[in-house]
Amino acid sequence: GGIITQTPKFLIGQEGQKLTLKCQQNFNHDTMYWYRQDSGKGLRLIYYSITENDLQKGDLSEGYDASREKKSSFSLTVTSAQKNEMAVFLCASSIRTGPYEQYFGPGTRLTVL
């Protein structure tokens, strides 16, 4: 077994601010993902990283940067937070090959004032 931790749990920022969310996993998984979930909606992919030193854009990558510092960690940066933006950002990880179901972290709830 393993666990995914996300920090912070709650993030409050100002419009235009650059904000960073962090994710750590101890599954020893190769691949990590960032999803955004808006209230009452499904998850949409922002970025993913198949392995260290790899970054792949998802459908929602505009306005975000990502960094895979090492195998166990994956960071997401909101480059310029938008006023009234409120969403939960979910980190996930999986093995690289095969069916590889994803395992999710508890999420970071972002509020922009």
Interface positions with other proteins (CB under 8 A): 31, 33, 35, 41-45, 48, 50, 56, 58, 88, 90, 96-97, 99-104, 106-107
Q: Are 94 and 12 in contact (CB under 8 A)?
A: no
Tell me whether residue 35 or residue 64 sits nearer to other proteins (CB atom). 35
Residue 71 beta carbon to other proteins: minimum distance, rounded to whole angstroms? 15
DSSP bridge partners of 77: 20, 65
CB nearer to other proteins: pick between 63 and 106: 106
Residue 84: exposed, middle, or buried by beta-carbon count in 10 A (0-12, 13-18, 19+)?
A: exposed
